[in-house]
Chains A and B, each alone.
Chain A
Amino acid sequence: MRARPGWTVTVGMSSCGVAAGAEAVREAFRREIARRRLPAAIRITGCVGMCHREVLAEVSPPGGGATIYGDLTPERAARIVERHLLGGEPVREWIVADDRAPLHALPYFAKQKKIVLRNCGFIDPEEIDDAISMGGYEALRAVLAEGSPEAVIACVEASGLRGRGGAGYPTGAKWRRTRESPGAEKYVICNADEGDPGAFMDRSVLEGDPHTVLEGLAIAAYAVGASRGVVYVRAEYPLAVRRLRAAIGQAERRGLLGRDILGSGFDFSVALMEGAGAFVCGEETALIASLEGGRGMPRLRPPFPAARGLRGMPTCINNVETLANVPWIVRHGAERYAAIGTPGSRGTKVFALAGKVARGGLVEVPMGITLREIIEEIGGGSGTGLPVKAVQIGGPSGGCLPASRFDTPVDYESLKESGAIMGSGGMIVLDESACMVDIARYFLSFTRDESCGKCTFCRVGTKRMLEILDRIALGRAEEGDLDLLEELGRSVGIASLCGLGQTAPNPVLTTLRFFREEYEAHIRDRRCPAKKCRALFRYRVDPSRCTGCGACARVCPVGAVAGEKGRPHLIDEARCTRCGLCVEACPADAIAAE
């Protein structure tokens, strides 16, 4: 049977899809479709959030309906063209969802509520018409036609929306302050610096639905009285930069940005600025310093940017996700938004679920859902066979909560009480193989590197804390070191000017609070229970299992393994760097840590 005209194959082409090999899969679809002269179009879309099943593609027959395939490779794409497009039979083994078992019924999506991510993975982010067909720019149109700036601010205030960039400041109140601050000119800035390692919410939104962010920014500009805006994007996100730049151009050509938008008399132009690789530039005053061409160093607030920001003018800075909520709120009303979530934390929050989790990806959940529901019901547990040990929330400013605290609801207040923070949305699941000293050390070495150096406590304090952690990891620490670590941590938190230093001790303090015995094992017994700290364990070859195949010796980067072919091998402990490559290479499972 020949395929009828009008098939569509839509390949998920966000950074995560591309990293999983989406370019080659798209190419394979294209090649096979062309070779067989099939009447089928190939489209692209952003990330639907199921990063654990990438590469994803949707196949739609001419009559409508859809089959979504996952775990694709170029070979599988070719098979799908042959069997599904040409033969009319879907290929069962790689189906993720179809009309009988749709996406939203999967355990991964059942508890999610999509507002920010409503279009991601469904529209072609490079086609403005796709966005418009989903209601894009309707909120802006409505606001310009009938809403006064005052009404817009009142609506956002009533929705209860709080900033998603980390601090959770009420968005409506920020807009009001900017509007009321005197200034010859005002600015709006979209903070797309997303520097927290382990976070990719903003990237996915920018790559999957850039027009929603631009629309939110334009509404913010109208509300505060700004005619110019900047999107400050992290340089490590080349695809987001490219799609955003294209989106700005398209919106300008449609008269949705630029002069006299939709004939309303409202002018608003957007510039794009790429960050240059400094984490601290996500902090709002540092971001402004960077926009002005200087070193990105934070300054004391007040004055807040709402009063004195870019070029000394009132400036409203909002996070990508915050802005992406705005068009939905305007279109559906503040009440509907406020009905979702908890009294203090309205609406939804997007989390980047990664680490040791079976189903990782981007999830958007109503506030108030528990950590357990996210990690176990949506994420499906660790997926490694080992129990989940903890979850790290909020990146370098956040903390680690043990599995015993997984009934904590996800809202600003409860998370803060628990010692972690909501943060921007990074959520890294750790299983029993994780060493909490190693995790604390990891984050502190990050903040030490990224400290801008302005405050002594942040610059030197993080360094001293890291030295203590290094000593612990090397088995050279002493009894009093944990108290010293806690005291230093408290001082760094108090004596730093910006959020970076104020929150830098959190990963250390929370792990000390919940996993103190693990620190003590390193200090008292010179033992790393998870076998991560390299000075505290060694690798040994079990001579009764070793077949002498030599695989270990071949992969060892430092030449620490020796042995004759066919005879048990030996690891030179002094030379070994504990990289573990030999363990992975051994076909006989003969090498173990002890």
Chain B
Amino acid sequence: MKSTIAKSDAARDAAFRRLLSGAEESGSLIPLLQKTQGLYGYLPERALVRIARRLRLSPAQVYGVATFYGQFRLRPAGRHLVTVCHGTACHVAGAERISEALEGALGIRTGGTTPDGLFTLRNVACLGCCSLAPVMMVGETAHGRLTPAKAKAVLRRRAR
């Protein structure tokens, strides 16, 4: 899912309205949430309320689904989503040290966003590139065979 950061607020809202008008049944709730997050980078509360109304669900039901799945965020994320793999292969290859090095370099804890809004750091339970462990993903690009120093260098390049 690509996030369309460049769009203006008005354009995003218009796209959201188009999304909503195309949705009808409750079975489409998850794809709808995914597309909404693709637009805004997270799930704004007002969007959840309108989705609920449109699909004739209670806001609590929609909120319940949005909080059940790890993919959904209720707060905006930074420009670069940094996902450090903590799958089995990465765990035994030292994923924890990658996370610690990045936490130290960015000055935030896993789950947090840097004050300048540039980076959000989070964990995932396997990116499926286990032979290249430890691995992290920045946006949609995976970086393998990391060392703490290499991981920090990747972020430095992004920060520029």
A interface residues (Cβ-Cβ under 8 A, vs B): 15-16, 18-20, 23, 51-52, 54, 194-200, 203, 235-238, 273-279, 290-296, 352-356, 360-361, 392, 395, 426, 428, 430, 434, 439, 442-443, 446, 450, 452, 555, 557-558, 577, 579-581, 584
- Contact mask B72-92 → A, CB, 8 Å, 1/0? 100000000000001111011
- Contact mask B119-160 → A, CB, 8 Å, 1/0? 000001111111111010000111111011100000000000
CA of A70 to CA of B147 in the docked complex: distance in angstroms?
A: 21
Query: Is the pair A19, B130 in contact by a Cβ cutoff of 8 Å?
Result: no
Most A CB within 10 A of own CB, among B29, B100, B103: B100
Residue of A nearest to B28 (CB): A293
CA of A277 to CA of B33 in the docked complex: distance in angstroms?
A: 13
8 A-B pairs with least C-beta separation: A557-B104, A51-B131, A277-B70, A197-B87, A198-B88, A19-B144, A276-B69, A293-B29
Query: Is the pair B132, A273 in contact by a Cβ cutoff of 8 Å?
Result: no
B interface residues (Cβ-Cβ under 8 A, vs A): 1, 25-31, 33-34, 55, 64-65, 68-72, 86-89, 91-94, 96-97, 100-101, 103-105, 124-133, 135, 140-145, 147-149
Q: How many A-B Cβ pairs are below 8 Å?
A: 162
With A200-B128, A360-B131, A581-B148 known as contacts, the answer to whether A355 contacts B88 (CB < 8 A) is yes
CA of A356 to CA of B71 in the docked complex: distance in angstroms?
A: 30
With A355-B89, A557-B101 known as contacts, the answer to whether A194 contacts B27 (CB < 8 A) is no
- Extra inter-chain contacts (18) besides given A428-B88, A579-B101, CB under 8 Å: A18-B141, A19-B142, A20-B145, A51-B131, A51-B132, A195-B125, A197-B87, A198-B87, A198-B89, A278-B68, A278-B70, A292-B26, A354-B131, A392-B88, A579-B100, A581-B148, A584-B147, A584-B148
With A16-B144, A19-B143, A51-B131 known as contacts, the answer to whether A355 contacts B92 (CB < 8 A) is yes
CA of A296 to CA of B72 in the docked complex: distance in angstroms?
A: 14
Query: Is the pair B87, A19 in contact by a Cβ cutoff of 8 Å?
Result: no
From A196, A294, A360, A555, B126 is in contact (CB under 8 Å) with: A196
Query: Is the pair A579, B130 in contact by a Cβ cutoff of 8 Å?
Result: no
Query: Is the pair B132, A20 in contact by a Cβ cutoff of 8 Å?
Result: yes
CA of A19 to CA of B97 in the docked complex: distance in angstroms?
A: 19
CA of A555 to CA of B97 in the docked complex: distance in angstroms?
A: 11
Query: Is the pair A442, B68 in contact by a Cβ cutoff of 8 Å?
Result: no
With A15-B142, A197-B87 known as contacts, the answer to whether A277 contacts B128 (CB < 8 A) is no
Residue of B nearest to A583 (CB): B97
With A273-B31, A426-B88, A428-B88 known as contacts, the answer to whether A52 contacts B103 (CB < 8 A) is no
Most A CB within 10 A of own CB, among B25, B129, B147: B129
With A276-B70, A426-B88 known as contacts, the answer to whether A577 contacts B100 (CB < 8 A) is yes
CA of A482 to CA of B49 in the docked complex: distance in angstroms?
A: 49
Query: Is the pair B69, A238 in contact by a Cβ cutoff of 8 Å?
Result: no
CA of A296 to CA of B29 in the docked complex: distance in angstroms?
A: 12
With A16-B131, A20-B144, A295-B65 known as contacts, the answer to whether A235 contacts B71 (CB < 8 A) is yes
Query: Is the pair A290, B30 in contact by a Cβ cutoff of 8 Å?
Result: yes
CA of A435 to CA of B32 in the docked complex: distance in angstroms?
A: 43
A198: chain B residues at CB < 8 Å are 87-89, 126, 130
CA of A236 to CA of B149 in the docked complex: distance in angstroms?
A: 25
Query: Is the pair B88, A442 in contact by a Cβ cutoff of 8 Å?
Result: yes
Query: Is the pair A446, B148 in contact by a Cβ cutoff of 8 Å?
Result: no
A235: chain B residues at CB < 8 Å are 1, 34, 71
B129: chain A residues at CB < 8 Å are 15-16, 19, 51, 200
A276: chain B residues at CB < 8 Å are 30, 33-34, 69-72
Give, as a whole number of angstroms, the nearest-CB distance from A471 to chain B: 19
Most A CB within 10 A of own CB, among B26, B31, B72, B124: B31
B142: chain A residues at CB < 8 Å are 15, 18-19
Residue of B nearest to A581 (CB): B148
Give, as a whole number of angstroms, the nearest-CB distance from A282 to chain B: 12
Query: Is the pair B145, A237 in contact by a Cβ cutoff of 8 Å?
Result: no
B105: chain A residues at CB < 8 Å are 557
Query: Is the pair A236, B33 in contact by a Cβ cutoff of 8 Å?
Result: no
A203: chain B residues at CB < 8 Å are 128
B65: chain A residues at CB < 8 Å are 293-295
Give, as a whole number of angstroms, the nearest-CB distance from B35 to chain A: 10
Give, as a whole number of angstroms, the nearest-CB distance from B119 to chain A: 16
CA of A293 to CA of B88 in the docked complex: distance in angstroms?
A: 30
CA of A581 to CA of B99 in the docked complex: distance in angstroms?
A: 11
A577: chain B residues at CB < 8 Å are 100
Give, as a whole number of angstroms, the nearest-CB distance from A453 to chain B: 9
Query: Is the pair B29, A428 in contact by a Cβ cutoff of 8 Å?
Result: no
Give, as a whole number of angstroms, the nearest-CB distance from B129 to chain A: 4
A450: chain B residues at CB < 8 Å are 125
CA of A580 to CA of B140 in the docked complex: distance in angstroms?
A: 29
Residue of A nearest to B72 (CB): A276
Give, as a whole number of angstroms, the nearest-CB distance from A245 to chain B: 12
CA of A352 to CA of B92 in the docked complex: distance in angstroms?
A: 15
Query: Is the pair B125, A279 in contact by a Cβ cutoff of 8 Å?
Result: yes
B1: chain A residues at CB < 8 Å are 235, 238, 274
CA of A198 to CA of B89 in the docked complex: distance in angstroms?
A: 6
Query: Is the pair A197, B147 in contact by a Cβ cutoff of 8 Å?
Result: no
Query: Is the pair A295, B64 in contact by a Cβ cutoff of 8 Å?
Result: yes
Query: Is the pair B100, A557 in contact by a Cβ cutoff of 8 Å?
Result: yes
Most A CB within 10 A of own CB, among B55, B72, B96: B96
